[in-house]
Chains A and B, each alone.
Chain A
Amino acid sequence: MTDLLDIRGLTLGFRGLNGYTEVLHGIDLSIARGERVALVGESGSGKSVTARIILGLLQETRTARVAGRVNFDGRDISSMRARPRAALRGTDMSMIFQDPTSSLNPTFTIGRQFAEVMRRREAGLSQKACEARATAMLEEVSIPDPARVLSAYPFQLSGGMNQRVMIAMALVNNPKLLLADEPGTALDVSVQAQTLTLMQDLVARHNTAVLLISHNLGVVREFADRVYVIYRGRIVETGPTAAIFDRPGHAYTRALMAAVPRITGAGLPEVPEVSDDFLAPMVTHPEAT
């Protein structure tokens, strides 16, 4: 069976006042069905724009120039028109954002927003059916009192609660691919850990493939089957999670790992801001068989 997502030679540039600026220089990335893949890199490395290209959001920006192939579920999204591409969003693929509370609309109840999302899949779904399915989904993310949450507004719930709501909402239509852009970075570390565990259980149960975008190596190590390390618009290292963490082959990956302050305390790590080694060719670890 072919991969669920297969990206080949993806480039992205923006046309601005100073001419054309390329920010992605040919990305190759693939995700198998049900696989959990992480895309790791510092801010500005191009990880978030990659997710937005997969969703087809950036293609709709006038100044963006996207080239390369993006195959999703056997179809080439890059050559698709805006309308069929939009039809995939919220149904076959969905996304979880950094800050759950500000990502939910402040003027609608959770229940209302849930219903809108579910009607992306089944337009004529009745109010009652929406409620029933949303309740079941909220129970799945261990929300103790679904009825209360459904009638609440986002500002009435805690950040952790909203995060659960967002995860539930992202999975309610049984998407094939879930894009998680720094999920819960805006939350406390403990809440972040809880929701991550929750997400892990859920995607395993629904057999959803995940592209986790993160700069947090700890999160990546626990969550992902496979890792891509991205630096300045290029993939610099890729391979199974264990292999990369055991034997980081690329200078940038090693710097990234060294940059995490130890909980045992050894002072702030010293990381060079730029190094010629970071531009070394990509290191590929063989797939574990």
Chain B
Amino acid sequence: MSSVFRILLRRLGISVIVLIGVSMLIFAIARVIPGDPARIALGPNATAEQVAAIRTEMHLDEPIVAQYGHFVTDVLRGDLGTSLYTNRPVTQDIVEFLPATLELVIFAGLLMVALGLPLGILAARHRARWPDHVVRVLTLLTVSAPSFVWAVILMLVFAFYLPLFPVAGRIDDSYEIARVTGFLTVDTLIAGRFDAFLDVLHHLVLPAVALALSGIGQAARLTRANMVETYDKPYIEMAQAYGFAPGRIARRYAFKPSLIPSLTIIGLDFAAMLGNAFLVEAVFAWPGLSRYGVAVILRKDLNAIMGTVLVIALTFLIINIIVDLLIAFLNPRIRHSTRAAT
């Protein structure tokens, strides 16, 4: 187990370097965007003295390296500045909007894994027979349209023509749930309101499916392709020669070695959902960080943009670390070779 710990440490070290790079990039972008941040902050009617005063306050009169230094120390203190859009600290905005997005993305990710992997296993086990053909056609369909198209289609079909699901929002307005974590699925359970919990799930279905569909297709196709390759390996023939049932061979002997190469891409798909969530949240009026991100970009709200990008980058890194640990857990070759490598 200590070798897994070693992998974790190394990945964390790399992540710190990536984060430093991201912070520099964000900082640089913020400075090259046309327009004086001080002017934008104060609005068109400000006097020259007011502008000069805020320039000093925002350290805009200092050299660029010093400005970056201030930026980094502020970020490390959890201070991302004030948003012009909401007039509140950006940190506070993120704390408010991030849980909604994470809830959506996590549910979509669960759907991707819970549906994509079994579909891939099914197709590979019955390769070149009808279950395989059905899965391949369906998944080709899901990967060939972006998630916002699916969002509109699903909304039209299952919320408008067949009103099975709510059109928008996270929860019915009639419920009053005290905010604890910001994750409504968790908060409703903390409040002991099971009816509200079900209502939250009901609201989650369409956006999560829309967000997950292409990922489900991708995961299924990837799993199938890797498993079909694994089926040609001698150890599968050996498992057959020992009379293990075909289902058991598929789930245990062929799936596990095949999952290792798929996992990196599934992890990336999971992280990419954060980006796709921008559009799905817009369609379903989901009050999440992505919608906030769109709003602040349109208003050139620099502090809020930087904060949003930083949080998304951080989430990407965390997902990648989790994927790497999972791979190390699944692949004994990696788990046991780090000792020699480090």
Contacts and interface: CB of A to CB of B under 8 A. Distances in A.
Given A103-B235, A105-B257, A107-B257, A95 B332 contact: no
B235 A89 contact: no
A90 B241 CA distance: 7
B241 A105 contact: no
A94 B243 CA distance: 9
A99 B239 CA distance: 14
Contacts of B336: 153, 156
Contacts, number: 67
A116 interface: yes
A86 B245 CA distance: 8
B256 interface: yes
A153 B332 contact: yes
Contacts of B77: none
Contacts of A87: 243
Nearest to B332: A153
Most chain A beta-carbon neighbours within 10 Å: one of B234, B242, B257, B331: B242
A117 B242 contact: yes
Given A86-B243, A91-B243, A94-B242, A107 B237 contact: no
Interface string A91-126: 100110111001111111100000011001000000
A90 to B, nearest CB: 4
Nearest to B241: A95
A90 B240 CA distance: 9
A204 interface: no
Interface centre among A99, A106, A153 (most CB of B within 10 A): A106
A120 B241 CA distance: 12
B243 A95 contact: no
Contacts of B239: 105
A123 to B, nearest CB: 12
Nearest to A92: B243
A211 B169 CA distance: 69
Contacts of A98: 234
Contact of B234 (A55, A86, A89, A99): A99
B245 A107 contact: no
A57 B257 contact: no
A98 B237 CA distance: 12
A106 B242 contact: no
A155 interface: yes
Contacts of B238: 95, 97, 103-105
B150 interface: no
A104 B253 CA distance: 10
A136 interface: no
Interface residues of B, number: 21
A88 interface: yes
Interface string B314-342: 00000000000000001111001000000
A97 to B, nearest CB: 6
Contacts of A109: 332
A263 B266 CA distance: 55
Contacts of A116: 242, 244
A103 B237 CA distance: 8
Contact of B243 (A89, A97, A108, A155): A89
Interface in B216-256: 233-235, 237-245, 253, 256
A107 B256 contact: yes
B234 A90 contact: no
A34 to B, nearest CB: 21
Contacts of A105: 235, 238-239, 253, 256-257
B331 A90 contact: no
Given A105-B257, A106-B257, A107-B332, A57 B241 contact: yes
12 contacts: A89-B243, A90-B241, A90-B244, A91-B243, A95-B241, A102-B233, A104-B235, A105-B257, A106-B332, A107-B256, A107-B257, A153-B336
Given A99-B234, A102-B234, 4 more contacts: A90-B243, A94-B241, A120-B244, A153-B332
Interface of A: 55, 57, 86-91, 94-95, 97-99, 102-109, 116-117, 120, 153, 155-156
